[in-house]
Structure 1
Amino acid sequence: MYFCPSCANMLLIAQGESGHNQFVCQTCPYIHWLTFVLPLCIKPITSRTTYKRKQVDDVLGGSAAWENVDATEARCPKCDHNRAYFMQLQIRSADEPMSIFFKCCNCAEQWREG
């Protein structure tokens, strides 16, 4: 990463009017032309970094949270089955109603009401 010497904002790589790459500042008129050893380097400079996502815990407790829950009549939005497991959790402030979480008995689709 490079930063603008005038305003200290991050410089971006852009292609100039002549086709050469340049660093440009988004807030001030600063431009720094990129020069290469080869005169025919007119292709854009890009790089992509893919980060590995870290494992996160299920906020509802994972599969163990659904072991001893009751079932009720509720229509699944995915498979249209009419039976689902449910549990209630207080996820908002105490003066708000509890949220009801459902899990379809047929396809294991999960959804929330409230």
Structure 2
Amino acid sequence: MKFCDECGSMMKSGEGEDHWVCDSCGYEIGRDDGDDEWTTESQVESEIVDVSDAEDKGLPTTTAQCPECDNDRAYWYMQQIRSADESETRFFVCTECEHKWREDDH
């Protein structure tokens, strides 16, 4: 990733990927050999780790009634799913059947 020396915006690879181009102000600069060590997310290979049968999910637990199996314990976490000026939504995951639901679901 490279930032524009003129306006500070993030630069992107230009045609042929031999130079950087700023979308905001049009400033261009050649790519150095050291720039090759940076990769984009699509170029990075990731390893998928299966933790579905792990005992501890690393999440806090609370008393919550599962709508699927009536278990009374659930993991919970907060996630921002709306715009930044809206409050976060609390999600629950049953400790027994792993059913997932939101706090405002009925």
- The TM-score, its normalising length taken from structure 1, stands at 0.41
Structure in which a larger fraction of residues adopt helix: 2
